[in-house]
Amino acid sequence: MAVTLQFIEKELAKAETDYSKVQASPEQKTVIDQLAELLSRYTGMPKLPMKGFLWKAMKDWQLKNSMTCHAVLEMPYAGRLRSVREMLTILEEKYLRKVLRHSTDQYRLKKAIDSAFIYYQSIAPA
């Protein structure tokens, strides 16, 4: 179920600019591209700024867990899902909530992220 949330345009532009400077590994780029496509459909945020926020969330997750994106892709299915869920939680709580135009949309944002993850589970390779 897609929702259209409103975000602060200035923050979206900053995320786009930040992402344009990123030197991502092929593995990181693959994960970011796939998740940005999915999350953009569920939140209504354009793909490019979503990629910028995903990059930040992925970096945070990697630092917290001392793991590379390549290591995540090598994990068994359950481990990959758990890792993606953790990245999405960081994305939502640390980045996307702050750029919502209306703070009252936090619940709708959480539902959109949860719905996107449920769909991701159904399409992720086992």
Long-range contacts, 13-21 (Cβ 8 Å, 24+): 13/49, 14/52, 15/48, 15/49, 15/50, 15/51, 15/52, 15/53, 15/99, 16/48, 16/49, 16/52, 17/52, 18/52, 18/55, 18/56, 19/48, 19/49, 19/51, 19/52, 19/55
pLDDT at position 31 = 87
Does residue 101 sit within a domain? Answer: yes
Question: Is the per-residue pLDDT at 3 higher than 80?
Answer: no
Read off the pLDDT band of 2 (50, 70, 90).
low
Please state the domain count of the chain: 1
What confidence score (pLDDT) does residue 4 get?
A: 81
- What are 112's two structure tokens? 């959109």
Q: pLDDT class for 72, splitting at 50, 70, 90?
A: confident
Q: Is residue 91 one of the residues assigned to a domain?
A: yes
What is the Cα–Cα distance from 124 to 86, expressed in whole angstroms?
16
Q: DSSP secondary-structure letter at 102?
A: S
Q: Is residue 92 part of a domain?
A: yes
What is the predicted pLDDT for the residue at 56?
A: 96
Does a structural domain hold residue 2? Answer: no
3 within domain boundaries = no
Classify residue 17: in a domain, yes or no: no
Residue 5 lies inside a defined structural domain of this protein: no
Instruction: Tell whether 117 is covered by a domain.
Output: yes
Q: List, for residues 96-118, the tens digit of each pLDDT value.
A: 999 999 999 999 999 999 999 99
Judged by phi (left if over 0) then psi (alpha if -120 to 50, else beta), residue 15 lies in alpha
Residue 5 pLDDT class (50, 70, 90 cuts): very high
Strand, helix or coil for residue 8 = coil
**What pLDDT is recorded for position 27?**
84
Q: Give the mean model confidence (pLDDT) for residues 17-38.
A: 92
What is the structure's pLDDT at 73?
84
Host domain of residue 94: 24-123
2-6, 53-57, 79-83: segment of lowest average pLDDT: 2-6
**pLDDT greater than 60 at residue 1:** no
